[in-house]
Amino acid sequence: MKKGCSIALTGLLVFSSFSVSDVLADKKEKPLVSQEKALKNELTVENSHLKRKEKLKEKAAEGEVIVQFKKEADTEPTLKKHGLKKYKKVKNKNIHLVKFNHKKESVDKVIEKLSNEEDVVQVQPNYKYYPAGFTNDSYSNHLWGFHNIGQTIQGQMGVPDTDMNVPEAWNKVANMNLQQTTVAVIDTGTDINHPDLKNKIWINEKEKNGSPNVDDDGNGFVDDVNGWDFYNGDNTVYDAVDGDEHGTHVSGTIAAEMENGEGVAGIAPNAKIMPLKFIGPEGGSTFDAIQAIQYAKSQGVKISNNSWGSYGGYQGDMLAKVIADSGMLFVAAAGNESNNNDQTPSFPASYTNDNILSVGAIDNQGKLAGFSNYGKTSVDVTAPGVSILSTVPQKPPVTIPGYGASVEASNGSYKAIVNGFGFENIETLSQRKEMFAKSLNYLGASKTSPILLVDDDESDAGYPSYVSIYRELLTSLGYTYTTRTVNQAANGPDANTLKQYRTVIWFTGQGFGPSNAYALTANDRYALESYLNSGGKLLLSGRDAIWGSENSSLVKTKLGINWIGESTAADVTGNSGTAYGLSKYDVKPIEYADFYASNNPAVTKINLAYPDRVMHYNDYEYFDGTSMATPHVSGVAALMMGVNGNLTPIQIIDTLRKTGKPMTFGSEKIATGTFIDASRAIE
């Protein structure tokens, strides 16, 4: 809740997360959800995955403005006078989306003309927005934001008790009859059939029990059984073709089903999710955001989660007024550009409305995340937003005969193993050590001859560092080694250097190269191919180790790999007659694990296969971003409403601001200097 802060305007758009149009782009375009922490003047969509990047083209929709007329005004004469066409209207508001030929007139010119009309209250561009990740649930131990005992998440050791005390909050409400609370997830779509979400989706009973193709409740939306898709203009709140990972991930943090023996748990067991999709592959617009908020208001929703943002907008614009008029707690992501929102506001989080709570992100050590926006007057609180595990839509199965997670190649001279994920992704130390030992046994590594360990995980660019894992494996197995560290975009060891070693281990971790390059540079590919031609022994490991090199002679010819695609990693099983035999390995949830086929069976064999996976198996991923922090706060607010349904937005905001835990780093950049404490919030 911010009051009276003075802010400058900027024209850049920002994401409040995945990524998710991140969200939506195929990895081959490396679009969004890219490591938000590394992006400055680019938008990232949390679809992810902190791993996709894409420059967004539009600050506002071309050929469109939003016009608010006086309550009783006849809109047609004014629009006709200026040659404008009314396209859509917000129900119960005299607010219209108006279209015009942008090749003939600019947005500014149309705004100037309409602003002079007596019956026009306000006119503005149609700005675009973009997405800014205890119980018996199988991945509950990965939810460090709920309960942090110092466990290592995505390569970073946590600090015990740097969490929101969620189990403690659950214990307090265990014997209470919590009131059901609906949370509107205004975002991309939500996969309402996900097993962890299917029982937690809001239902419009009048439409569910009504007639097909009839607006049974008379609200202007036909068959809106679970919400509405304002992006596509229909009742399908989840569209696989659009991705919709971001909204699904957010929804899981708030309300994933507890005690169902699988996946994750949401913070609020009493919450139901109302999916209101207004963001798609091309972002979302102000007009559609306004419609979504109005829809939620008409259904009596008291809390909305808003993990999206833009640098387009200004204090007192139409979106700000609709938010104020909604009467709901509007939880908003501060943004992921490492910006000071006091100076460069990100909307809607930076509006000064009393009912908006702006949320930044911390990591599992209590530090302000490097990518998180901040602001001593404009960002209220923080919450867990780094390496957040939650629900994502079903991925295509990866068990196609002949496809697998890893290959081994040998022509009698050279030998190589290429894994489509890293050893850091093996769940247990004993399994990791066994798999590593079998890899080196296959390669014929010598304990009397040093191994070259190439650390190419791009930790210098903000990705997790995994070198300690590989060093510990080598040391524990009695091997000696020399480490060579490669910075992002730099060339690794040349061919002459590689040839000094009988065995080379080259790992890439979560790195996948900068926006204009890949994990392996052209020089790296040449050096590795030359090394193998000389009879070298190579272990290449990492989910994006061959990203961008799929069609190179190194991959296609020398290693004999046909890159098939990528998906969430599942547990793997060794193939008989290969390096790993019939061993089974448990793989941590990780997105974008590669899977391969052999391009030359005489040389290359699949040595690790993915087992058959059931619907939604392992459809959980780690995302980073203030988009992931925001639903933690929305979930706590829903739990508070479950205890006392009469709480107002201002009361909830005041409580959350006063009951947080101190941050360990960056507290001076946040209004309260704290992160949310669920247990204290419901005292």
CA 381 from centroid of its chain's CA atoms: 20
Residue 568: which residues within 8 A CB-CB, separation 6 or more? 392, 395, 589, 590, 591, 593, 618, 619, 620, 621
State how far the Cα of 322 lies from the Cα of 347, in Å rounded to an integer: 13
Contact yes or no for 374/385 (Cβ under 8 A): no
Residue 461: which residues within 8 A CB-CB, separation 6 or more? 35, 38, 487, 488, 511, 514
Contact yes or no for 246/279 (Cβ under 8 A): yes
Between 318-326 and 286-298, two packed helices, what is the crossing angle to 10 degrees? 10
**How far is residue 392 from each of residues 47, 146, 232, 370, measured CA to CA in Å?**
9, 19, 20, 24
| Domains observed in the chain | 140-392+625-681 (3.40.50.200), 406-618 (3.40.50)
Q: Could you say which of 246, 249, 616, 632 is catalytic?
A: 246
What's the 3-state SS for 317-358?
Answer: CHHHHHHHHHCCEEEEECCCCCCECCCCCCECCCCCCCCEEE
As separate numbers, helices (DSSP H) first and strands (DSSP E) second, the chain gives 15, 31
Query: Which residue positions in the chain have pLDDT lower than 50?
Result: 1-57, 133-135, 397-400, 613-617
Phi, psi of 498 (to 5 degrees): -60, -40
Buried b vs exposed e over 165-190: b needs ≥16 C-beta within 10 Å? bbbbbbebbeeeebeebbbbbbbbbb
Phi, psi of 666 (to 5 degrees): 90, 10
Amino acid at 20: V
User: Which pLDDT belongs to residue 100?
Assistant: 85
Contact yes or no for 591/618 (Cβ under 8 A): no
pTM of the entire predicted model: 0.63
Q: How many residues does the chain have?
A: 683
Q: Of 348, 392, 81, 349, which Cα lies nearest the Cα of 252? A: 392
Write the pLDDT tens digit of every residue in 624-657.
Answer: 999 999 999 999 999 999 999 999 999 999 999 9
State how far the Cα of 521 lies from the Cα of 511, in Å rounded to an integer: 13
Contact yes or no for 270/642 (Cβ under 8 A): yes
The residues with which 181 forms a beta bridge, in sequence order, are 271
User: Which pLDDT belongs to residue 86?
Assistant: 74
User: Which pLDDT belongs to residue 474?
Assistant: 97
State how far the Cα of 92 lies from the Cα of 560, in Å rounded to an integer: 63
State how far the Cα of 640 lies from the Cα of 438, in Å rounded to an integer: 52
- Which tokens sit at 265? 């748990």
State how far the Cα of 14 lies from the Cα of 419, in Å rounded to an integer: 35
597 C-beta neighbours (distance < 10 Å), count: 18
Residue 633 parent element (H or E): helix 626-643
Residue that is written with structure tokens 């219209």 in the block: 96
Alpha carbon dihedral 209, 211, 213, 217, in 10-degree steps, equals -60
Q: Of 39, 10, 20, 396, which Cα lies nearest the Cα of 242? A: 20
User: Which pLDDT belongs to residue 328?
Assistant: 98
Q: Of 570, 468, 558, which Cα lies nearest the Cα of 520? A: 558
Q: 187 an active-site residue?
A: yes
User: Which pLDDT belongs to residue 618?
Assistant: 56
Residue that is written with structure tokens 């708030």 in the block: 254
281 C-beta neighbours (distance < 10 Å), count: 21
User: Which pLDDT belongs to residue 621?
Assistant: 87
157 C-beta neighbours (distance < 10 Å), count: 11
Q: Could you say which of 137, 163, 187, 224 is catalytic?
A: 187
State how far the Cα of 150 lies from the Cα of 552, in Å rounded to an integer: 42
